[in-house]
Amino acid sequence: MFANRIERLKPSLVREILAAAQAPGVISFAGGLPAAETLFQPQLDQWQAPSHIWQYGPSEGEADLRELVAARAKAMGLDCRPEQVLILNGSQQGIDLVAKLWVDEGTRILCESPTYLAALQVFELFGAQFITGEQDAIGLTPAAIAENEARFAYLIPTFQNPTGACYGLPQRQVLAEALDAKGMPVFEDDPYRDLAFDGVAPAPLVSHLKSARWVYQGSFSKTLAPGLRLGYLIAHPDLIVPLTRLKQAADLHSNRLSQAIVAEVLRSGQLDEHVAHILPSYRAKRDAMHAALSQHLADRASWIKPAGGLFFWLHLHRQQDTLALMQQGLAQNLAVMPGVPFYPNGKGASALRLNFSHSSIGQIEEGVRRLAGLLR
């Protein structure tokens, strides 16, 4: 006999699509993987691991890494102290910890629609219900906050997954005002910030809050390497103690080897160097996908060219079964992600999420051509 929550533990569509997408010869727009050639590969043979990292370490994370993360957060406009930083085994873990912090069965979460499907899965596992308020072309409106009751808002303000949308500075300010006025806490998920192709992203939404409580999280998976499994959260001072206890209960502490590697990468300036190195390639791929979509699909779909992140979000003009479309794509060695699982309430327009980071430019052009064939 399982716990009740196991009934809500659905087979992950993503897992299945990603498995299919890894077959040789498949062009995959399905995942959210960095390109192999953009991964940061630490030169371990030229590195002296600090001897203390093999012992048990602090649940909060290594002191030096927390300082470096706090300094980086300040540089992006989020004033915080190192004591507010908690190091995670990748930012997926932050979702689990925030769910434990805030979600009971029946807890209402205000979120964008569509939004990150693995966050929906975790929140749902803990029994959450989703509220999607009034939206504009970018995301939630202040009215969505004012007019709805929810324990907290889950937002991806910067290069959202899946839409690629990014709230501007004024929008962040009015949303922060609305959250303060409502006293609604916010969980800002921000893994794509550094992948900005057309100028620096505005400061985090939570940096504009005056009274509402907040958790902000970031990741090194998109800028360095996912295999390191390293992310972090920064929390309002009232929240960092319970979050740290939840982290301790979950796995005592994060991997110290990865923490030491990333601390060294931050200290030496290699992170910014690496991001500067990979951005032109990602930008070129983004442009190539935009051009291919414009050439082949302008009459059948609409999209906004994303200013950052890893995805195009394609609205199909004709209503259709995108799950069936995905299956048809796989039969032609093309993997795309159907839009349905990104909608908190399971329903939405016919849409596809297309990842442009993992494929080569040639694959992007060929894949969009195949997709156009499927839609014809």
Residues at the site binding its own copies, with contacts judged by CB under 8 A: 1-6, 9, 11-12, 15, 31, 33-34, 36, 39-42, 44-49, 51, 53-57, 59, 88-90, 92-93, 96, 100-104, 107, 118, 121-122, 125-126, 151, 221, 225-229, 242, 245-246, 248-258, 261
Q: Give the DSSP letter string of 255-324.
A: -HHHHHHHHHHHHTTHHHHHHHHHHHHHHHHHHHHHHHHHHHHTTTEE----SBSSEEEEEESS---HHH
The minimum distance between CB 321 and its own copies, in angstroms, equals 25
Q: How many angstroms separate the CA atoms of 163 and 135, rounded?
A: 13
Q: Which is nearer to its own copies, 39 or 146 (CB)?
A: 39
The minimum distance between CB 162 and its own copies, in angstroms, equals 17
Q: Which is nearer to its own copies, 226 or 348 (CB)?
A: 226
- Structural element, H or E, at residue 87: strand 85-88
The minimum distance between CB 268 and its own copies, in angstroms, equals 17
Q: How many angstroms separate the CA atoms of 106 and 114, rounded?
A: 20
Q: Which is nearer to its own copies, 119 or 325 (CB)?
A: 119
For residue 309, which of 270, 283, 344, 277 has the smallest C-alpha distance? 283
The minimum distance between CB 4 and its own copies, in angstroms, equals 5
Residue 129: phi and psi, rounded to 5, are -115, 150
The minimum distance between CB 299 and its own copies, in angstroms, equals 35
Q: How many angstroms separate the CA atoms of 187 and 206, rounded?
A: 8
The minimum distance between CB 136 and its own copies, in angstroms, equals 28
Q: How many angstroms separate the CA atoms of 132 and 343, rounded?
A: 9
Q: Which is nearer to its own copies, 122 or 205 (CB)?
A: 122
Please say whether the beta carbons of 230 and 85 come within 8 A: no
Q: How many angstroms separate the CA atoms of 89 and 96, rounded?
A: 11
The minimum distance between CB 93 and its own copies, in angstroms, equals 4
Residue 253, classified by CB atoms within 10 Å of its CB into exposed (0-12), middle (13-18) or buried (19+), is buried
Q: For the chain, give me the number of helices (H) and strands (E)?
A: 11, 13
Q: Which is nearer to its own copies, 1 or 137 (CB)?
A: 1
Q: How many angstroms separate the CA atoms of 241 and 205, rounded?
A: 22
Please say whether the beta carbons of 355 and 21 come within 8 A: no
Q: Which is nearer to its own copies, 118 or 323 (CB)?
A: 118
Q: How many angstroms separate the CA atoms of 247 and 239, rounded?
A: 12
The minimum distance between CB 274 and its own copies, in angstroms, equals 12
Q: How many residues does the chain have?
A: 376
